[in-house]
Structure 1
Amino acid sequence: MTFVQLIDCRTSRFDEMNRLMDTWVEQTKGKRTATHSLIGKDRSDASHFVEIVEFASYEEAMRNSGLPETDKIFREMVALCDETPTFTDLDVVRDEQLNCVVARGFFEEAGRARTEQLFERFTDDYVDHDPANPEDLGLRGARAEYDGWRRSFDFSFQVDDQLAEGDRVCTRWTWSGRQTGEFLGIASTGQQVSMTGTTWHRFREGRICEGWWQYDRAGLMEQLGVLGQ
């Protein structure tokens, strides 16, 4: 179970504390078990800071606390605080990357959802970047592209992995399908095919506003008997 620790402190010497944290990161390379650290400043009190440190488990957090470097930095951090910091230990009971949920829903429904329903997740000014197309597409072009794939293949996506950072979500996927119609001049073969790819989606206000696609199009064409002959 993921574990997070909240460190609540007040200091008028944040710049020094920030450099101290950089020192800890450098000194604990190959040793630390913390996976994510986030520091927030209170908008109503410039001396009030909260650090959120994430670990894979409580046990990993205890290992991290036991490092000599952690103990040394902690004592130096306390000296920079205006008062003794407080600690809150939390077991994470729900962890949901909301943009990931939207991106995953797109891939899970693609191939079977109606175009209108599928693209409700997208902004009206959506921009699509696909190296297979000579120009970037807008929302109308992306919808037409999807309809074209639907006419050519009976397909579905499997989400293999996802990462989220800021307003972007990266999805690594496997696409599988059977050719049921003409595709790029290739008559329907009934062939079962698959390919892997990665898509970056950028979000604005909970909707997808931009997409970047990379996928093994050459491998798909080879399976359809166009390449490698």
Structure 2
Amino acid sequence: MMPEIVVRRFFEEIRSGRNLHLVTEFMAEKVLAHQVQAEDEVTVERSPMDYADHVQEMLNAYGTFTLEIQELLVSQQDRVYVRWKQIGTHIGEVDGFQPTGLPIIELASAVYRVEDGKIVEYWIQIDRTGITAQLERNKKKKIENS
């Protein structure tokens, strides 16, 4: 399967949270996840089940969210760039913030490297400061409306 198709289907089935049981169809046994952040770049090794658990945590925190691919580009034969917007509702604790029932938007992008039809590595950037600002604003709104 072409890398673009692998990544697109991965988003539709796994990253969206719709069909987590299919995760091994899209991810290699060991995936290097490079979390690109200015203050502390980190690379973690993820298994497909680790990743499914991670998406489940997002579902627990944000409910059934919408996930819109805003851009998808094939940058090299084995690499695919994706930029997306995720919109959910804050229904579970996130970074010490109690649920507010208010919307939370995540803007993020990643480059996925595909080998033999499976994701083997990715580099991800998430607007974490923007998420924190929304959590703080929503906490304030909830207190004001109490």
Rg larger for: 1
Write out per-residue CA displacement over residues 173-198 of structure 1, whole angstroms, 9 at most, x where no aligned residue.
11111111111221111111212211
Alignment of 1:102-121 (within 5 A): 102-109=6-13, 110-121=15-26
Cα distance change of structure 1 residues 125 and 118 upon mapping to structure 2, 3 Å threshold:
closer
Corresponding letter in the other structure for 2:17: R
Greater relative contact order, per chain length (Cα 8 Å cut-off, separation 6+): 2
Check if 1:187 corresponds to 2:91.
no
CA distance in 2, matches of 1:173, 1:111: 11
Task: Pick one of 63, 76, 88 that aligns with 1:177.
Answer: 88
The 8 Å contact of residues 176 and 192 in structure 1, kept in 2 or not, is answered as: yes
Q: Where has structure 1 moved over 3 Å in runs of 4 or more?
A: 131-135
Partner in structure 1 of residue 59 of structure 2: 150
Task: Pick one of 207, 210, 214 that aligns with 2:118.
Answer: 207
CA RMSD of aligned residues (A): 2.4
The 8 Å contact of residues 111 and 150 in structure 1, kept in 2 or not, is answered as: no
The 8 Å contact of residues 33 and 43 in structure 2, kept in 1 or not, is answered as: no
Write out per-residue CA displacement over residues 74-95 of structure 1, whole angstroms, 9 at most, x where no aligned residue.
xxxxxxxxxxxxxxxxxxxxxx
The 8 Å contact of residues 90 and 99 in structure 2, kept in 1 or not, is answered as: yes
Task: Pick one of 83, 95, 100 that aligns with 2:4.
Answer: 100
CA distance in 2, matches of 1:169, 1:106: 12
TM-score w.r.t. the length of structure 1 is: 0.52
The 8 Å contact of residues 100 and 169 in structure 1, kept in 2 or not, is answered as: yes
Corresponding letter in the other structure for 2:7: A
Partner in structure 2 of residue 59 of structure 1: none
Between the aligned residues of both structures, percent identity stands at 24
Partner in structure 1 of residue 35 of structure 2: 130
Aligned length, in residue pairs: 132
Cα distance change of structure 1 residues 201 and 106 upon mapping to structure 2, 3 Å threshold:
same
TM-score w.r.t. the length of structure 2 is: 0.78
Partner in structure 1 of residue 144 of structure 2: none
Structure 2 runs not aligned, ≥5 long:
141-146
CA shift, 1:102, in A, is 1.6
Structure 1 runs not aligned, ≥5 long:
1-96
